[in-house]
């Protein structure tokens, strides 16, 4: 029995509102052993005040020691066991550009490549062609027509683009056509299960037409296909939690991830202040709000300790505006840590704060990496955050009599 | 491999004594964010003294966010994964009135109903007939005879009673006869698996005779059958832990739960002082004692903060009498939290204290919701408490060489 079996069985409706603020990559590290982390350094009067009212803990994104990408990081926060649910590479790439996959779609990561007259690969990344130079070449592939299949071709960045095949009887188990070396031809798409044979045939036909179209486009005179993946089969927030859920994100990747679990992407905010405006306007229409804040991650990736501190302070300053809406449950967390010391995602537990009238406050009056370990939520796997949110919102009945 | 596979393999006998005091619903909440919980408010000199000698932690009854009923709450404390072992509704109802189910028994929850001359239901609860008025009607059903089946009919409360069928070849997979609406006749019992066909036939015969007997007993002139359930297949304490276990409880539900895991219900105590007398008298005859204290839950359910505080102090005062028996391992815990603020069972971790000469005391000298989080046991799932008890009693050998 997994947690979703439980939440399906125990969910009960009420008028509560849950707000989950995900400060991407929130957790950090000190620059010296006796130093403070970015969050501990930041002046965060509102988080500290909420820490007094709330309960904190350290969210382990996947398992101890495992640093997740954005996909598993968010799946965990959304209550989907990131080891049970995996988003295939192609589906994640499509999701990352905000493409809303439909059930039955197959998404494929494509690289432009350079081939010689004999059809042998001379460059697996087509000279790292620029995003601008690639754009018209990507667009030219949209003339490809395949009977009974709708074809989408979308640029990603530089030599990378995405193809999505939409039609009946398509599955995602097809091997990569990238041979991982130069001096050899690309491989033909090969189905690895009988259910994916038609996908392999469609991909082969796509490649045949692409070869014609791209012939004169060197260095981007052909492409490989990798990471074939069907839309992951994730049950929806509505079904597993009984929540009408909205996503308020700025960047396509997070909109895409929210869409995969059935959240509705609302608004067109491009900064935090506008995101809060969207939240306010949609307050009556949803039960759950996912609000994504990117800059705690990007500054961490840049190794910019001070800028990450400033971004945390910026988030802190926005909290009172959210509190005036009086959410039943207010959560501040992150999908993983991104310490500027490491300039990358990490495995460290993510400081997580939950405030409700029945949260059982702990003894802390500040919020940070060192306090969260001894907070009332202790160290916990991210996938348990949603059951805790539902319980604090009074949305879970008793298990067993 | 589950924990019982481990304890089966590693268990070793000795003369140790384990006492587990379950203060039902022990955990609580403050009434204001900066307030104290019931346990933190109570004057508990003995628990505090034991906190200095012992190690504490927060027991998560099932999983984070999940509030359990008494059944799963106690199964967890007894070391039975409450998600793996589920007690069917009928079996729990029989257990709740202290009926000792035998392997192969099928228990059924019954409601008296009112039907009209056409056999259509006019009241699904027979006018909520009183317990006193129902008693002779329940008794009248004991004249029902079915070949090769022993039939038990036991009152529960008001319009509710329990039927237990005992005989060969009976399984519990039979659908409810309650159509969940009035103006229609009750359904016939239908087996949902082939193994339960005989149960359905027996139930049909029971209903046929009941209809005759009840014909003149309006408003209780018929009854429905719901929650058919076989005795849950729980391995015994003796088998999984090598413990001769005794239960010293006042209320039928807890006696019933203890019986399901093979504990022997001893004594006829009706208060805590008498329970301790029973404990003392039986000290030589058992290895493990479960002592159940109800009033920390019932006062919580009543929303009576001060009365719950007083009940905790009452329990505290009884501890020295138990300590004089010199248990090898003394545990004070609860099956779940019942904060008077919520007036219901909750998901919050339950303060749990374990004292033995090898428990590795932590740094706390008080016992409560806020200290237990940073105690030496940390936050842990209730199902791990029994292995910890066995280890502290020297009853578990080394795993692997």
Distance between start and end Cα atoms, chain B: 18
The reply to whether A375 touches chain B by the CB within 8 Å rule is: yes
Secondary structure element (H or E) that encloses residue A111, with its range: strand A106-115
- pTM, 2 dp: 0.92
Is B64's CB within 8 Å of A384's CB? yes
For B401, other C-beta atoms within 10 Å of its C-beta total 3
CA atoms within 13 A on the CB side of A393: 30
Q: Which residues of B31-44 are buried (b: 16+ CB within 10 A; e: fewer)?
A: eeeeebbbbbbbeb
Q: How many angstroms separate the CA atoms of A197 and A172, rounded? A: 10
Which chain A residue has the Cα nearest residue B75?
Answer: A400
Query: Are the C-beta atoms of residues B355 and B329 closer than 8 Å to each other?
Result: yes
Is A10's CB within 8 Å of B66's CB? yes
Which chain A residue has the Cα nearest residue B70?
Answer: A401
Q: How many angstroms separate the CA atoms of A368 and A355, rounded? A: 15
3-state percent helix, strand, coil for chain A, nearest multiple of 5: 35, 20, 40
Secondary structure element (H or E) that encloses residue A122, with its range: strand A121-123
What pLDDT is stored for residue A29 in this prediction?
A: 98
pLDDT tens over chain A, length 401 residues: 789 999 999 999 999 999 999 999 999 999 999 999 999 999 999 999 999 999 999 999 999 999 999 999 999 999 999 999 999 999 999 988 989 899 999 999 999 999 999 999 999 999 999 999 999 999 999 999 999 999 999 999 999 999 999 999 999 999 999 999 999 999 999 999 999 999 999 999 999 999 999 999 999 999 999 999 999 999 999 999 999 999 999 998 999 999 999 999 999 999 999 999 999 999 999 999 999 999 999 999 999 999 999 999 999 999 999 999 999 999 999 999 999 999 999 999 999 999 999 999 999 999 999 999 999 999 999 999 999 999 999 999 999 97
Distances (CA, A) of B353 to A45, B51, B276: 36, 7, 19
Indicate the length of chain B as a whole number.
401
If you write DSSP's letter for every residue of A266-323 in order, what string do you get?
Answer: -----SHHHHHHHHHHHGGG-SEEEEEE-HHHHHHHTT-HHHHHHHHHHHHHHHHHHH
| Interface residue of B64, B83, B343 to substitute, partner A, most A CBs within 10 Å | B64
What pLDDT is stored for residue B35 in this prediction?
A: 96
Q: Which of residues 236-265 of A touch B (CB under 8 A)?
A: none
Query: Are the C-beta atoms of residues B222 and B214 closer than 8 Å to each other?
Result: yes
Residues of chain A neighbouring B347 (CB-CB closer than 8 A): 387-388, 391, 396
Q: B288-293 and B329-333: which strand pairing?
A: unpaired
What pLDDT is stored for residue B3 in this prediction?
A: 95
Q: Which of A400, A181, A374 is nearest to B253 (CA)?
A: A400
Q: Which of B167, B233, B179 is nearest to B203 (CA)?
A: B167
What pLDDT is stored for residue B98 in this prediction?
A: 86
Helix, strand or coil, per DSSP, at residue B23: strand
Query: Are the C-beta atoms of residues A328 and A18 closer than 8 Å to each other?
Result: yes
The reply to whether A378 touches chain B by the CB within 8 Å rule is: yes
Q: Which residues of B168-203 are buried (b: 16+ CB within 10 A; e: fewer)?
A: eebbbbbbbbbeeeeeeebeebebeeeebbbbbbbb
Distance from the Cα of B165 to chain A's closest Cα (Å) equals: 22
* Phi, psi (degrees; rounded to nearest 5) at B249: -125, 160
* Phi, psi (degrees; rounded to nearest 5) at A351: -55, 130
Distances (CA, A) of A216 to A113, A134, A211, A227: 13, 14, 9, 26
- Which residues neighbour B261 within 8 Å (Cβ) at sequence distance 6 or greater? B75, B78, B80, B234, B235, B236, B237, B245
Q: How many angstroms separate the CA atoms of A270 and A278, rounded? A: 11
pLDDT tens digits, residue range A314-366?
999 999 999 999 999 999 999 999 999 999 999 999 999 999 999 999 999 99
Is A6's CB within 8 Å of B63's CB? yes
User: Token pair for residue A117?
Assistant: 């007259």
Largest CA distance in chain A: 74
Query: Are the C-beta atoms of residues B182 and B122 closer than 8 Å to each other?
Result: yes
Is A52's CB within 8 Å of B33's CB? yes
What pLDDT is stored for residue A115 in this prediction?
A: 97
Residues of chain A neighbouring B87 (CB-CB closer than 8 A): 400
Query: Are the C-beta atoms of residues A155 and A134 closer than 8 Å to each other?
Result: yes
Q: How many angstroms separate the CA atoms of A67 and A347, rounded? A: 4
Domains parsed from chain A with CATH numbers: 3-85+234-392 (3.40.720.10), 92-229 (no CATH)
What pLDDT is stored for residue B1 in this prediction?
A: 75
Select the residue of B30, B89, B369 nearest A401 (Cβ to Cβ).
B89
User: Token pair for residue A6?
Assistant: 């439980």
For A143, other C-beta atoms within 10 Å of its C-beta total 11
DSSP class of A226: E
Indicate the length of chain A as a whole number.
401
Q: B329-333 and A288-293: which strand pairing?
A: unpaired
In three-state form (DSSP H/G/I as H, E/B as E, the rest C), the secondary structure along chain B is: CCHHHHHHHHECCCCCCEEEEEECCEECCCCCCCCCCHHHHCCCHHHHHHHHHCEEEEEECCCCCCCECHHHHHHHHCCCCCCCCCCCHHHHHHHHCCCCCCCCCEEEEEEEEEECCCCCEEECCHHHCCHHHHHHHHHHHHHCCECCEEEEEEEEECCEEEEEEEECCCCCCECCCCCCCCCCCCCCCCECCHHHHHHHHHHHHHHHHHHHHHCCCCCCCEEEEEEEEECCCCCCHHHHHCCCEEEECCCHHHHHHHHHCCCEECCCCCCHHHHHHHHHHHHHHCCEEEEEECHHHHHHHCCCHHHHHHHHHHHHHHHHHHHCCCCCEEEEECCCECCCCCCCCECCCEEEEEECCCCCCCCCCCCCHHHHCCCCCEEEEHHHHHHHHHHHCCCECCCCC
pLDDT tens digits, residue range B207-255?
999 999 999 999 999 999 999 999 999 999 999 999 999 999 999 899 9
Select the residue of A10, A361, A387 nearest B64 (Cβ to Cβ).
A387
Distance from the Cα of A400 to chain B's closest Cα (Å) equals: 5
The low-confidence residues of chain B, meaning pLDDT below 50, are none
């Amino acid at each position: 029995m997994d947690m979703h079996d439980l939440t399906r069985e125990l969910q009960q409706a009420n008028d509560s509102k849950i707000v989950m603020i995900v400060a991407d990559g929130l957790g950090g590290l000190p620059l010296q052993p006796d130093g403070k982390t970015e969050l501990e350094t930041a002046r965060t009067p509102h988080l500290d005040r909420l820490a007094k009212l709330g309960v904190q803990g350290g969210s382990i994104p996947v398992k101890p020691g495992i640093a997740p990408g954005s996909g598993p990081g968010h799946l965990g926060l959304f209550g989907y066991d990131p080891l049970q649910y995996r988003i295939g590479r192609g589906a994640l790439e499509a999701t990352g550009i905000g493409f809303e996959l439909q059930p039955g779609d197959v998404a494929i990561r494509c690289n432009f490549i350079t081939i010689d007259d004999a059809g042998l690969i001379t460059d697996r990344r087509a000279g790292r062609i620029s995003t601008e130079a690639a754009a018209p070449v990507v667009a030219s592939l949209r003339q490809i027509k395949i009977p009974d299949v709708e074809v989408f071709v979308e640029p990603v960045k530089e030599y990378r683009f995405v193809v999505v095949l939409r039609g009946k009887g398509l599955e995602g188990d097809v091997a990569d056509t990238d041979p991982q070396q130069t001096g050899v031809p690309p491989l033909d798409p090969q189905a690895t299960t009988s259910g994916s044979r038609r996908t392999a045939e469609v991909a082969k036909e796509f490649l045949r037409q692409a070869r014609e179209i791209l012939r004169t486009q060197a260095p981007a005179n052909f492409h490989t296909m990798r990471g074939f993946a069907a839309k992951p089969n994730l049950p929806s927030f509505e079904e597993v939690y009984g929540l009408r859920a909205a996503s308020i994100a700025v960047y396509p990747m997070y909109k895409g991830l929210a869409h995969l679990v059935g959240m509705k992407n609302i608004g067109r905010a491009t900064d935090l202040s506008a995101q809060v405006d969207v939240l306010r306007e949609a307050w009556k229409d949803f039960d759950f709000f996912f609000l994504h804040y990117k800059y705690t991650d990007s500054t961490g990736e840049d190794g910019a300790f001070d800028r990450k501190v400033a971004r945390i302070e910026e988030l802190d300053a926005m909290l009172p505006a959210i509190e005036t809406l009086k959410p039943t449950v207010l959560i501040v967390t992150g999908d993983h840590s991104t310490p500027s010391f490491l300039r990358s995602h990490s495995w460290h537990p993510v400081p997580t704060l939950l405030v409700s009238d029945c949260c059982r406050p702990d003894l802390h009056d500040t919020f940070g990496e060192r306090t969260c370990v001894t907070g009332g939520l202790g160290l916990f796997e991210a996938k348990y955050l949603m059951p805790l949110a539902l319980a604090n919102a009074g949305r879970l009945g008793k298990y067993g009599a």
